[in-house]
Amino acid sequence: MKLVRVPDRARALERREHPIARVLGVLGLLVLWEALTRTGWVPALFLPSPLGVLAAGVDMLRTGELLTHLVTSLGRILLGFGLGALGGVSVGLAVGVFSQAEAVGNPLSAATFPIPKIALLPLLILWLGIGEASKVAVIMLGVFFPMAINTYTGVRHADSQLLRAAVSFGAGRWSLIRKVMLPSALPMIFAGLKLGAGTSLLLLVAAEMIAANSGIGYLILNAQNLMETTTLMVGIVLLSLLGLVSHWLLTRLERVAIPWKRV
């Protein structure tokens, strides 16, 4: 009798990790970039070398210039992001919980949500002046909408079984909000926070390029005007670091706040 082996089909489903390739990608790009600038084919005015950018960054850090811009930008972003997130979660909760608020809020948000928030900056400057308030306000608006919409969605998708179970054990409306709806919405709230972090960085830079004399956005635009491409690149690298750090922080926070999601 002929034997037929079972073919190993699992191979097609395998997905291996490549830890070396992960590092090589970034490193390779940097080396290539450095080599390209060293040969002199690409003038430093258009593309400064990575090591040059690093040196300029260290230098600006030493003079305190970088820190000043960073602190100014961070202040705007933290205030705008904090207010927007707080407002967004509160409004999202209210709209999710109360049918009256839902009736008012949904069409309102449908009408205002699609406006690119940066388009409102001129209006905000007109109302609030060219100072800090208008920049904070535009970031706040940009964070508010994704937060409100995500919180609302999270609340509305609370498991009806759990709501019924809570009610059967005597939970009132306040208990339902606190013990069922809010925890149900937490994963969506964190998704909104990550989305909002990206949006707020975008709006920060845009606002600082349009109307500011400090901050990272200003640093970048000003460097371009002065043809200081190296300084410009320092600003861009700083923004990339800000994005990375904020995402990392939010992911850490999420793990702490949603322990039941860990398997």
Supply the minimum distance, in Å, between the C-beta of residue 78 and other proteins: 28
Q: Which is nearer to other proteins, 176 or 202 (CB)?
A: 176
Q: Would you tell me which residues interact with other proteins (CB under 8 A)?
A: 159, 161-162, 164-171, 175, 179-180, 183, 186, 258-260, 263
Structure tokens at 221: 């635009």
Q: Which is nearer to other proteins, 89 or 141 (CB)?
A: 89
Residues 6+ positions from 182 with CB-CB distance below 8 Å: 93, 155
Q: Which is nearer to other proteins, 130 or 162 (CB)?
A: 162
Alpha-carbon span 150 to 135, nearest angstrom: 24
Q: Which DSSP category does 6 fall into?
A: P
Say how many CA atoms lie within 13 Å of 226 toward its Cβ.
10
Alpha-carbon span 181 to 86, nearest angstrom: 17
Supply the minimum distance, in Å, between the C-beta of residue 183 and other proteins: 4
Closest to 88 (Cα-Cα) out of 163, 16, 40, 149 = 149
Q: Which is nearer to other proteins, 166 or 236 (CB)?
A: 166
Supply the minimum distance, in Å, between the C-beta of residue 51 and other proteins: 49
Say how many CA atoms lie within 13 Å of 261 toward its Cβ.
15
Supply the minimum distance, in Å, between the C-beta of residue 249 and other proteins: 22
Tokens 């909002």: give the residue.
196
Give the Cβ contact number of residue 254 at 10 Å: 17
Supply the minimum distance, in Å, between the C-beta of residue 260 and other proteins: 5
Alpha-carbon span 146 to 152, nearest angstrom: 10
Q: Which is nearer to other proteins, 86 or 171 (CB)?
A: 171
Q: Which is nearer to other proteins, 161 or 225 (CB)?
A: 161
Alpha-carbon span 113 to 258, nearest angstrom: 28
Supply the minimum distance, in Å, between the C-beta of residue 96 and other proteins: 17
